[in-house]
Structure 1
Amino acid sequence: MSDARGGVMTLDEPMRSVAIIGGGIVGWSAAVALKRRVPALQVSILPIAVPPNALADRVENTLPSIIGFHDDLGLREDDAVLRAGSSWRLGTRFEGWAQGLPPYVHAYGPYGRPFGTASFHHHWVRAARMGTAAPYDTHSPAAMLANAGRLVGTEPELGSIFADIQIGLVLDLERYRAMLRAFAAHLGVVIHEGVLSTVQLRSADGFIGQVILEHGGSVEADLFIDASGPDGLLRDTIDAEWEDWTPWLRNDRLVRAVGPGSAPAALDHVTALAGGWRWRTSAIGKTIHGLCYSSAALEDEDARRLLVDADATDTATPVAFSQGCRTTPWARNCVAIGDAATVIEPLEWTNLHLAHSAIDRIVSMMTGRDCHPLEIADYNRQAGAEVSRVRDFVLCHYGAARRPEPFWQSRAELPESLARTLELFTERGRLPFFEEETFSRDSWLAILLGQGVIPRRVDALIEATRPDHSDAAMAGFRTTIERELPRFPTATDHHAVQMRRISR
């Protein structure tokens, strides 16, 4: 086997160089993570512009997992949040997904506390069937904190019901990308400037040998990471195998807009519409609007008009996308990440999370220079399990929805994994275990119960606790949450305190 320079490659020789193609947040995240966590690697990046439909690079909202990603890089809150213009979020408020039911919140953290012989949600399900249950999200400290416009200002006391709250971010995309670029340069990442012209494959083994630039020069590496967006400019040169999700996830258009700023808020608002859904996020100095929809149900101009009517002042051109994933994101010496690997609508904000997870997996499963097929196969197996379950979680919102419009009614038979999840839950309120779950059981329960999916039978384990005792315990938990809320700062006050601290 020959290497990129024509020499003989020794099996199991360590990986020496990695090149990333893509200049968005995903590409810079990969460059920083690889150089920071594997310092011996020579890491280079060709920061070509990513297209408007590269959602992992274009959607501001993130899951709480981004905090752990920053921790692994040694990025402090001051750098990754405050100086880069980001703000905090605790979850999402969903409205209109089940007509006849009130809005509900999917927040990041536990719902209730287990007591007796059964999990908390079984007590709630029994009360719901008896007509005595308060809304499920009133038992979530994070949801109630966010509804009150407040944030966790300091580390909660050990054992506090607020101790397990998780926090996501709303990024200022340009400032955040600039921060990552500066950090990459500081770490010693080699930055190539130019426009990609040709990807050359080696005739001996089909590996990528080098990337040729338009006006001369080339980029060589042992491993190439494709962060170029949905077109997969590198990965497609090896094969273009793709799993199509459009029979289930029918949205294929997205338009974003910006409106006047308002007070920071810890909740996004996501509203179901006849042909898709609309979101609103309060960020620092601006309000972010977006609409994700099906072109078969809504015209592009009508979508833009809906955002203007929602007080958006700067509306972008709608972009098209097709949902699905690569069946093998890693092939030979090229691995696709971000939208080059998975395209999924931003409901639940999983786009950047999946890119970060892929980067973490590359680091932890780094192969030798020969990119052994067995190691690649295991990477692809794990990546496939993760993205399939994220697809199921997003699709669960549609599977559990109650709306009359054709967009919501005509959908292909659900994937077997989600169908099994829903069947098991609707029978007795239980959720099956899957490897590589992104979302916790509390998150699944928040969506299912929030949209009115009530199990047909109460779990037998609940019978050890009398209904009035369950009701009293749940009421006590809600009272404790409400009593503690006033001691937390508002989102505005929390941000002001943090900015004063770093300006000293």
Structure 2
Amino acid sequence: MSPPAVRAIVVIGRDAPLWLAAATIAKALEPAGVMVTAIELPSALHPADVYPTLPALEALHNQLRIDEAALIRASRGAFSLGQNFVEPASGASGFLHAYGAFGTAIDGKDFFAYWLKARRHGLSVGLEDFSLTAAAARHGRLLIPDAETERYGRSDYGYHLPAAAYAGILKAVAIRDGVTALTASGANAVLASETGDIAALIVDGGEHIGGDLFIDATGGEGDLIGGALGVARESWRSCFPADRVLAANGPALSPLPIYAEVRAWRGGWTALHPTPARTHVAQAYASALASDEEALRGAEAACGFALADPAVRSSDPGRREAAWARNCVAIGSAACAFDPVHGVDLHAVQLGLIHLLACFPVGGAFGAQRAEYNRIMRSSFEQVRDFQSAHYALARYEGAFWASAREAETSPELAHTIATFRARGEVPPMEEQSFAPDSWRALFIGHGVTPESHLPVIDRTTPDEMKAQFRRMLGFVKEQVLRQPTHDEYLGRIADHAGG
């Protein structure tokens, strides 16, 4: 006899992770007759919270039929071309982790190797100058990709989305697409005595909500995956120096930057996420080195303006030993919590959803799919962790916080990646990688890691041809950037379109 089909899915959680999961699953599985129920728990959001996103979220929005202009208007969000990492006290210009490619191929070979060779021979032009997105960000312009720029290289963007407004938008999308929405102050799991699977959730008033598959989007608490099923959590506390994050609001910036800025100070770092209405500020620090009051003062000093609505929460990176246990799949920080430095919270949700749909069980016996999902997610989460860990291991900023960051634990895989880059400027290919080689290169070069050599295959290209190609690229980047609208102009067009 065939195992029973999966027809009823229950998603429990709060805020954007809940509604992004419910909407995505409902949209993808509606043709298969799958019904989705979402149980909304009380919000954990503060007024200052914002979701900085990576570029991949745009594709998911498209699948959900979320109109980008309407999203930006309704959320009062903004665009982001990357993150600018600086240490104001040193006076150095810092580096931009731009969401796009750096340079374009020469003679069919990767640009980066040519740039390395040219730098060894006296080239003074930085890597950023060959990036459309980095150059646009520096000029406050939104690089809108088209066929011409795509031939040059990737030109991606993310968003800064005020968290409460974005969650509300996703809830409306989920309900539009057929999700049954319930609210509850909490829920208890009922386990089947024969299998240990979750049979139902008991919510306020004693109502039983049954399902074939349960999605845990409850956050770091992991009410189902950890509480009901007892799946242990592997801590990554030893890999990251910050255990506290302060969120606060500041005044809007003018003109509006089109990137986040992460400002290092002796006690941690302060991230500024600009939106039209305000600047959302996140301050990461170690409680052993700074009190909450000192962190707030440090954030205000780093920002240069007073902050309002401060709220503090803990930061506890780590992952569940299994993201899928029995008939329960943990999504987002219920499965894995990350350090806040690169704003990957929603990316973790998206990773889980993409791979869940790829492994989705047709029937109720899904041991093979579960094992494959856990393998993929473990690898995906560890790759993101290593990218974040590299930032702390390589940063040369001053202060006790950064000294402890450089002493933090790193994985053997990250050590291999750093060593390989130092040797020849290569980033080893890795499965389930969220960050492209260009992102790794920006991080390494930005932190002063200088490769000892370059790939010899590029030596077939003559120096004169290299110079001509470099001049052509720089001219193309300048021409394309200057014809793009400023961030303020583009947001103005979006607002005007609503009125028209």
**Offset of 1:41 from its aligned partner?**
1.0
Task: Answer whether contact 1:199 1:211 (CA < 8 A) is retained.
Answer: yes
Greater Cα offset, 62-71 or 460-469: 460-469
Match of 2:281 in 1: 289
2:261 to 248, 269, 289: 269
Query: What stretches of structure 1 of length at least 5 have no aligned partner?
Result: 1-9
CA contact (8 A) 1:97 1:271 kept: yes
Equivalent residue number for residue 461 of structure 2:
465
Instruction: Tell me whether 1:402 sits opposite 2:396 in the alignment.
Output: yes
> 1:83 is paired with a residue of what secondary structure?
helix
Q: CA deviation at 1:159?
A: 5.3
Aligned to 1:301: 293
Q: Distance in 1 between matches of 2:116 and 2:248?
A: 40
Task: Decide whether the 8 Å contact of 1:18 with 1:221 is kept in 2.
Answer: yes
Q: C-alpha distance in 2, partners of 1:97/1:323?
A: 27
Residue identity opposite 1:320 in structure 2: S
Q: Which amino acid aligns with 2:383?
A: R
Secondary structure in structure 2 of the residue aligned to 1:335:
strand
Letter in 1 for 2:193: S
Residue 441 of structure 1 corresponds to 437
1:298 Cα shift? 2.0
Q: Which moved more, 1:313-322 or 1:416-425?
A: 313-322
Q: CA deviation at 1:371?
A: 4.5
Q: Distance in 1 between the 2:22 and 2:138 partners?
A: 37
Give the aligned partner of residue 455 of structure 1.
451
- Aligned counterpart for 1:415 among listed residues 389, 402, 411: 411
| CA separation of 1:134 and 1:159: change in aligned 2, threshold 3 A | closer
Alpha-carbon displacement from aligned partner over 1:121-164 (angstroms, at most 9, x marks no partner):
112212323342312111111010111011135x5243566773
Q: What is residue 490 of structure 1 aligned with on the other side?
A: 486
- 2:223 aligns with one of 227, 233, 237: 233
Secondary structure of the structure 2 residue equivalent to 1:44: strand
Q: Which amino acid aligns with 1:44?
A: T
- Matched to 1:296, the amino acid is A
Structure with more helix by fraction: 2
For residues 377 and 249 of structure 1, the distance between their equivalents in structure 2, rounded to whole angstroms, comes to: 29
Which deviates further from its counterpart, 313-322 or 218-227? Answer: 313-322
What are the Cα deviations for residues 395-444 of structure 1, in whole angstroms up to 9, with x where unaligned?
A: 11122212343433342442011111111110111111111111111111
Matched, 1:158 2:151: no
Q: In the alignment, is the contact (CA less than 8 A) between 1:196 and 1:211 conserved in 2?
A: no
Question: Is 1:11–1:368's contact at 8 Å kept on the other side of the alignment?
Answer: no
CA distance in 1, matches of 2:415, 2:203: 47
- Indicate if the aligned counterparts of 1:261 and 1:287 stay in contact, CA closer than 8 A: yes
For 1:226 and 1:273, the matched residues in 2 are separated by 37
Identify which of 352, 357, 379 aligns with 1:358. Answer: 352
In structure 2, the gaps of 5 or more residues are none
Q: How far apart, CA to CA, are the structure 1 residues paired with 2:99 and 2:497?
A: 26
How far did residue 253 of structure 1 move?
0.7
Q: Tell me the residue number matched to 1:51.
A: 44
1:381 equivalent to 2:375? Answer yes
Percent identical among aligned pairs is 28
Matched, 1:218 2:212: no
SS in 1 for 2:311: coil
- What TM-score do you get using the length of structure 2 for normalisation? 0.93
**Cα distance in 2 between the residues matched to 1:330 and 1:50:** 24
Query: For residue 280 of structure 1, what is the amino acid of its counterpart?
Result: L
> What's the Cα RMSD here?
2.2
Number of residues of Structure 1 aligned to a counterpart in Structure 2: 491
**CA deviation profile, 1:11-32 (whole Å, cap 9, x unmatched):** 4322110111112100011111
TM-score (norm 1): 0.92
Does the CA-based 8 Å contact 1:222-1:369 persist in structure 2?
no
Residue deviations 1:367-414 (CA, integer Å, cap 9, x gap): 145242221010011111111100111111122212343433342442
Equivalent pair of 2:143/2:481 in contact (CA under 8 Å)? no
Structure 1 stretch 486-495 or stretch 195-204: which is displaced more?
195-204
What's the counterpart of residue 5 of structure 1? none
